[in-house]
Chain A
Amino acid sequence: MRNPVPLLHDFLHDTARRLPEKVALVAQKRRVTYAEIEASANALAHALAARGVSRGDRVVIFAENTVETVVAFWAVLAAGAVVSIVSPLTKADKLTYLLNDCRAVALIADGHLARVFVGAAARAPHLRTVVVTGTFDPARLEGLPGVVAWADALAGEPVHLPPPRRCLEVDLAAIIYTSGSTGDPKGVMLTHRNMLTAATSVLSYLETAEDDVILGVLPLAFDYGLYQVIMACAVGARLVLERGFAYPAQVLEVIVEEKVTGFPGLPTLFAVLAELDHAGAYDFSSIRYVTNTAAALPVRHIRVLREIFPNARIFSMYGLTECKRCTYLPPEDLDRKPTSVGIAIPNTELWLVGEDGEKLGPGEVGQLVIRGATVMKGYWEKPEATARKLRPGPIPGELVLYTGDLCRLDEEGYLYFVGRMDNIIKSRGEKVAPREVEDAIHAIAGVKECIVVGVDDPLLGQAVKAFVVPAAGATLAPREIILACQRRLSSFMVPKYVEILGELPTTNTGKTTIPPPKPA
């Protein structure tokens, strides 16, 4: 019996009831049915509840794209708690920050990431439970609170029903951490209503259906990747989960083997595809849609995508974690407006404002404002940052999202992305806050000044470049700066280029500014 007032995880319960034996997930050579996912999710939800996880508590998942991560996502929701999936590339310091920022009471983590999470968990006083998947050395985890292996946690717990439901649609379902110009990750708070609205809207224009087979090669810590799980489950489609695109040939073989119909990707991923000599040799006739977001699809990639996926409709899209998605370009408009990111998704409204807040007309560049039920509730415990983004809308008491992105609209109301108002670098499909990288470089002995920028890169989108000024008497080599960054930062944040300078140029007011490009 479908719940008449559904929460996000009712997608799982409803579909498991309707299609219990359908293979929901293909991952690491395992085929898992909807019934199996629901049973495991129910058991884990009970296990979390038994360990004190209550409504509204935060639970962090620190793991790769695995069956367990998917199960854990649904389980945390079924326990009435708030789920936050953190990238497995996250280093210890940042993980410590995240665990403490949201005061997570439970951590579900991959055993092979122990070297990262052991230290972080030890420094998170609110943590009471650590559920570990895969293989691990128990001695390593000694001293951590409530350590339990996945199988042991689930054993003996009820599988047929989740714990009693306490959440409302307006309760938080997830916190998705995102970078900002200050460098401190901010937790985007999303309610069940936010996520149900977003999933329903996106499904409506993609027309995803039960017979779809969706490729999940994007990180589940990223909302774009996570929603493939949510949307597949909503319609009873199958998700083929891959760890990433590190080994493209393997992913391409899986696409053919599983007859994948939907390929959500990113420009960096499509760039890799474009460079493979034999991408054209695979039979990708099964792919009926390809989607792109995170950065604009270069026109040359559109051509390559058409060649590799001859039967696919190509969706160029744009959004931010703060509202999941803003726009999509209907595939039939791709040829005549290839650089547009399209029109507002169903159930969303958008407009542009100038510097004094006035609504702008076609052709004018201004800040994009988003209105609709996809808009986040705010940043977790960051009221000032939240106040900058959420401001009063047309109806008294409502809040709309000031995106911080500069865009323009054409005469037909199609949106074009112009640039970010802050200076976030988009590299490898990930956001890099220059300040976070600068902080890491400043921690190196002998660094006097540095400034970090994005430079155009055909493969990465933008590459991270650091200009560094050594302190008097110090000598620094680019190599050692890069190594020090590798130690402190996630891999995609590490500068690809480091230039050592005698000084950084400054503006009239004394602010350091970006050095001009060297003459060729």
Chain B
Amino acid sequence: MSSIHARVRRFITTNFYVPPEEPLADEESLLDRGVIDSTGVLEVIAFLESEFGIAVKDEEMLPANLDSVASLVAFVERKRA
């Protein structure tokens, strides 16, 4: 089973548009890159909940938790710890 990191990257890059000539760095803001918008965030949350079996609370829907690949990975690891 591939790592959390690999699974998150795969989800983001297959469900949202990341131009092949501009790969997405782990630390890059998904909002700044225009990769996701407000309804995109909801799709990401649905993915996290179904893929990793965690529950994302309303108050956790913050950029610090969700706005980059690195943040998403850290968030999932924290929730599963």
Binds B, one of A38-46, A153-161, A175-183, A272-280: A272-280
- For B34-76 the 0/1 string (1 means CB < 8 A from A) is 1011111110000000000000011111110011000000000
Q: Whose C-beta in chain B lies nearest to the C-beta of A491? A: B37
| A459 (CB) vs chain B CBs: closest residue | B39
Residues of B within 8 A of A492 (CB): 37
* A508 → chain B closest CB, angstroms: 39
Q: How many A-B residue pairs have CB under 8 A?
A: 65
Whether, in the assembled complex, B8 has its beta carbon less than 8 Å from a beta carbon of chain A, the answer is no
CB distance from A46 to the nearest CB of B (A): 30
Q: Assess the A249–B61 pair: CB atoms within 8 A.
A: yes
**Interface residue count on the A side (C-beta < 8 Å):** 30
- Rounded to whole angstroms, the CA-CA distance of A244 and B61 in the bound complex is 13
What is the CB-to-nearest-CB distance from A327 to chain B, in angstroms, rounded to a whole number?
A: 27
Q: Is residue A513 contacting chain B, with contact meaning CB distance below 8 A?
A: no
The answer to whether A249 touches B17, judged by C-beta atoms less than 8 angstroms apart, is: no
Asked if B34 and A244 make an inter-chain contact with CB atoms under 8 angstroms apart, the answer reads no
Which residues from chain B contact A497 at a C-beta distance below 8 Å? none
Query: Out of B17, B34, B58, B62, which one reaches A279, CB within 8 Å?
Result: B58
CA A249 to CA B65, docked complex, whole Å: 11
What 7 A-B pairs are tightest by C-beta distance, nearest first? A486-B17, A246-B38, A276-B58, A249-B61, A245-B38, A278-B58, A246-B41
* A246 touching B36 in the complex, CB below 8 Å, given contacts A272-B42, A486-B17, A487-B17: yes
> Is A250 interfacial (CB 8 A cutoff)?
yes
Contact surface of B with A, Cβ cutoff 8 Å: 14, 16-17, 19, 22, 31-32, 34, 36-42, 57-63, 66-67
Interface presence of A108 (CB below 8 A): no
Quick one: closest A residue to B34, CB to CB?
A89
B22 near A246: Cβ-Cβ < 8 Å: no
The listed residue (A116, A247, A276, A486) touching B16 by CB distance below 8 A is: A486
Give the dominant DSSP class at B's interface: loop
A264 → chain B, closest Cβ, in Å?
Answer: 15
Cβ of A391 within 8 Å of any chain B Cβ, yes or no, is no
Q: Does A112 contact B (CB under 8 A)?
A: yes
Q: Do B58 and A115 touch (CB < 8 A)?
A: no
Q: How far is the CB of A132 from chain B (nearest CB, A)?
A: 15
**A246 and B40 contacting across the interface, CB-CB below 8 Å:** yes
What's the nearest-Cβ distance from chain B to residue A102, in Å?
23
Contact B59 A278 (CB under 8 A): yes
State whether the Cβ of A243 lies closer than 8 Å to any Cβ in chain B: yes
Contacting pair A249 B60 (CB below 8 A): yes
How far does the alpha carbon of A428 sit from the alpha carbon of B39 in the complex, in Å? 8
User: Do B31 and A243 have beta carbons less than 8 Å apart?
Assistant: yes
User: What is the CB-to-nearest-CB distance from B13 to chain A, in angstroms, rounded to a whole number?
Assistant: 10
- In angstroms, Cα B58 to Cα A492, docked, is 23
Q: Once bound together, how far apart are the Cα atoms of A459 and B38, in whole Å?
A: 11
CB distance from B5 to the nearest CB of A (A): 22
Q: What are 20 contact pairs spanning A and B, CB under 8 A?
A: A89-B37, A112-B32, A115-B22, A116-B34, A244-B37, A244-B38, A245-B38, A246-B40, A247-B41, A247-B63, A250-B62, A250-B63, A268-B38, A269-B38, A272-B42, A279-B58, A428-B39, A459-B39, A460-B39, A491-B40
Q: Could you say which residues of chain A place their CB within 8 Å of the CB of B61?
A: 247-250
A377 to B62, CA, bound (A): 43
Query: Could you give, for residues 475-489 of chain A, a 1 whenever the CB lies within 8 Å of some chain B CB and a 0 otherwise?
Result: 000010001001100
A195 to B19 CA separation, bound complex (whole angstroms): 39
Q: Which of B14, B17, B62 contacts A247 (CB 8 A)?
A: B62
Most buried by A among B41, B58, B63, B67: B58
Give Cα A479–Cα B16 distance, bound, in whole angstroms.
11
On chain A, the residues within 8 Å of B34 by CB distance are: 88-89, 113, 116, 491
Q: Nearest B residue to A116 by beta-carbon distance? A: B34
Task: List B contacts of A278 (CB < 8 A).
Answer: 57-59
Q: How far is the CB of B11 from chain A (nearest CB, A)?
A: 13
| Residue of A89, A246, A486 contacting most chain B CB atoms (<10 Å) | A246
Q: Name the A residues within 8 Å of B14 (CB-CB).
A: 479
In chain A, residues 262-304, which have Cβ atoms closer than 8 Å to a Cβ of chain B?
A: 268-269, 272, 276-279
Given contacts A276-B58, A278-B57, A278-B58, contact A246 B17 (CB under 8 A): no
Q: CA–CA, A491 to B15, complex, Å?
A: 12
Q: Which residues of B contact A428 (CB under 8 A)?
A: 37-39
Q: CB-CB < 8 A to B58: which residues of A?
A: 248-249, 276-279
The CA-CA distance from A88 to B34 in the complex, in Å, is 8
